[in-house]
A and B are shown apart, each in its own frame.
Chain A
């Protein structure tokens, strides 16, 4: 039997090589636990599939309306109204699918929390634990987000081309609704609390660091929105779906990890230091802190 060559480091792995900052940790997870990220991507895809299928159907219906319009069977007004109704039906159906989306989000948030806190991940059990522990609050947050999303879709489609309405609506959504939803989801993963606490604490955390979250949100959703709008009505609707699938598998988990890394570093700075000192810098090896602790002892 041919002997497999063992790839190894020439020296022992030591404590000094453990991540010392949240940035180090982000790359450390990326380097060592990419399979967990990939698994997360596939789980997300599985639960996003109904939404992708809905999108395919809407594209097919829209194509049908378009050919009817070209053949003269529909007037321009009728055609626009059909497209609008079609779009709103899709949005409504997506809203109804939010309970399904709350499953991977609550489960994976717990998996990512475990990873960024430097604990060992047992994917299946940690996912289940996340679903068990924070499904309810995740669903409530998603439903609130869903209502805003429905409203956004209604306004931008109803006032299509009316830029002084569409641009502020989009801006409000991108600047406030998306980042706040993300922080609420992350906050509820790390801390216990009622809905009001989660919302007020998330808002407090968002106001001084909105740009960090905005950047991460744009990175996270930019791809999804970009693919969605950039390839909408493309001659190859399946191409858009495949691209969206690839983004969900490969980009979304990295975005989630990035958001968790940003959040935990802010939690360390503003919450854990004062209220949860045991959790501060959890999962990091910091020689200065270790030395301080040693000196105190």
Chain B
């Protein structure tokens, strides 16, 4: 699994006069075979960073997979899987067909497709639903099917853009646990975007806190907590203390 390194990367939307830099001069390295979490408030540029890896936005600077500039790797050879907030299973396909789809378009042989799809469905506890369409499954099962589809072809990097933001807290916790255990088992490099302090602390091997397009703190969650990192504290407060309470506290200070 490759290290993903951003060197002096500025990511922008629009061209020339309309250009708007969203992430500026980013220098960061995501560790291979680990869960790297980007934590930040809305508009801090988390999703934009993910998009730059799959050419959904323009950027200046260099992004490397190990020592290879990704500009030299055709997008479909990068072996990146992207999971977004929306559940986007193909509604006309069964769960089996959905999971098998990435293998089918990569022209895997029939037996290999069946073997991998079944194994992945077993791993995620959805083997019983393989011949059903997504609409007859619960949201949690649909999420599992999505993860199965992302992982079935052994991607090197899994990009997850707030995938569980629409789930209730219990289910979200369960899904985070599942992602963590799958990441460990498969050794895939995960870059996970979230605005939830809780999710970030529970999932991250390496945590990157973003503010206005800049990485303002990074390290293991343990280290950041031990250092009483102010940005991490701020994220904690924004999640657990209501806006009113913070306002009161500021007044007192």
Residues on A facing B (Cβ under 8 Å)? 3-4, 6-15, 18, 28, 31-35, 118, 120-122, 125-126, 129
| CB-defined contacts of A12 to chain B, threshold 8 Å | 137-138, 140-141
**Chain A residues closer than 8 Å to B131, beta-carbon distance:** 28, 32-33, 118, 120
Residues of chain B within 8 A of A14, CB atoms compared: 128
Q: Which of B93-101, B197-205, B230-238, B241-249 touches A?
A: B93-101
Specify which of A11, A28, A33 is in contact with B138 (CB 8 Å cutoff): A11
Task: Return the contact of B128 from the options A8, A18, A31, A122 (Cβ within 8 A).
Answer: A18
Whose C-beta in chain B lies nearest to the C-beta of A8?
A: B139
Residues of B within 8 A of A28 (CB): 131
How far, in angstroms, from A88 to B50 measured CA to CA in the complex?
Answer: 68
B82-129 contacts to A, CB under 8 A, are 85-88, 91-94, 96-97, 100, 104, 109-110, 113-114, 117-118, 128-129
**Interface pair A32/B86, CB less than 8 Å apart:** no
Range for the number of chain B residues in contact with chain A: 20 to 34
B222 touches A (CB below 8 Å): no
Tell whether A13 pairs with B132 under 8 Å between CB atoms, given A6-B86, A122-B100: yes
Tell yes or no: B130 within 8 A of A by CB: yes
Complex partner residue of B86 from A4, A10, A11, A18, CB under 8 angstroms: A4
Q: Which 10 A-B pairs have the closest CB atoms?
A: A125-B110, A120-B96, A7-B135, A6-B87, A12-B138, A8-B139, A13-B129, A35-B92, A13-B137, A32-B133
The complex places the Cα of A121 from the Cα of B100 at a distance, in Å, of 10
Instruction: Quote the shortest CB–CB distance from A17 to chain B (angstroms).
Output: 8
Could you list 29 A-B pairs, sorted by A, with CB under 8 Å? A3-B85, A6-B87, A7-B134, A7-B135, A8-B137, A8-B138, A8-B139, A9-B136, A9-B137, A9-B138, A10-B138, A12-B137, A12-B140, A13-B129, A13-B132, A13-B137, A18-B128, A32-B94, A32-B132, A33-B131, A118-B131, A120-B96, A120-B97, A120-B114, A120-B117, A121-B97, A122-B104, A122-B113, A129-B110
Can you name the residue of chain B whose Cβ is closest to the Cβ of A15?
B128
Residue B10 at the A interface, CB < 8 A? no
Chain A residues, CB < 8 A from B114? 120, 122
- Judging by beta carbons under 8 Å apart, are B139 and A13 in contact? no
Complex: how many Å from CA A18 to CA B126?
A: 13
Q: Are B92 and A8 in contact (CB under 8 A)?
A: no
Query: Does B32 touch A at the CB level, under 8 Å?
Result: no
Task: Determine the main DSSP class of A at the interface with B.
Answer: loop
User: Nearest Cβ in chain B — how far from A264, in angstroms?
Assistant: 15
Question: Do the beta carbons of B141 and A13 come within 8 Å of each other?
Answer: yes
Residues from chain A with Cβ under 8 Å of B94 in the complex: 32-33, 120
Q: Is B36 an interface residue (CB 8 A)?
A: no
B88 CB to nearest chain A CB (Å): 7
| Chain B residue, CB-CB nearest to A120 | B96
Closest chain B residue to A34, Cβ basis: B92
CB-defined interface of B129-172 with A at 8 Å, one 1/0 digit per residue? 11111111111111000000000000000000000001000000
Within the complex, what minimum Cβ distance (angstroms) separates A114 from chain B?
11
Q: How far is the CB of A72 from chain B (nearest CB, A)?
A: 58
- B140–chain A nearest beta-carbon distance, Å: 7
Q: Give CA–CA (A32, B137) in the complex, Å.
A: 12
Judge whether B93 and A35 touch: CB under 8 Å: yes
Cα separation A263 to B136 with both chains bound (whole Å): 28
Kindly name the residue among A31, A32, A35 whose own CB sees the greatest number of chain B CB atoms within 10 A: A32
**Residues in B whose Cβ lies below 8 Å from that of A13:** 128-129, 132, 136-138, 141
- Docked-complex contact A32 and B140, CB < 8 angstroms: no
Minimum CB–CB distance for A8 against chain B, Å? 5
Which residues in B have their C-beta under 8 angstroms from that of A125? 109-110, 113
Assembled-state Cα–Cα distance A17/B104 (Å): 28
Q: A3 to nearest B CB, angstroms?
A: 6
